[in-house]
Amino acid sequence: MADYDAIASLHKAIPPFSPSIPVALLPYIAFLLLTATFALAFYFSTLPKSALPIREFAVASTASILGGFGVVALFNSAGVYL
């Protein structure tokens, strides 16, 4: 039981978590990132097909990363903290 008391006292001593991005900005960040994702997806669909798809890979990777962060920001702004 001494271990539990030591851990409980340490838990009470640490400061509470505070996010580095203000929670009020999350809907705007989600909108910005998801809008950029859809714009890049449209741009990706209009790219001409080439033998070396380096530009296609770069655009698709960027859209995928922005979409992932946009979905996380959208869930967090709705109260589902990931």
40 backbone dihedrals φ, ψ, rounded to 5°: -70, -35
Residue 15 forms part of a structural domain: no
User: What total of structural domains would you count in the chain?
Assistant: 1
Q: What is the mean pLDDT of the chain?
A: 90
> Is the per-residue pLDDT at 37 higher than 80?
yes
> Is the per-residue pLDDT at 1 higher than 80?
no
Residue 58 forms part of a structural domain: yes
CA 69/CA 26 separation, integer angstroms: 11
Residue 61 forms part of a structural domain: yes
Residue 33 forms part of a structural domain: yes
Specify the higher pLDDT residue, 82 or 75: 75
**Residue 53 confidence (pLDDT):** 84
Tell me the percentage of the chain whose pLDDT exceeds 70.
99
Residue 32 forms part of a structural domain: yes
Domain that holds residue 37: 22-78
Q: pLDDT (tens digit, 9 = 90+) per residue, 42-77?
A: 998 888 887 778 888 899 999 999 999 999 999 999
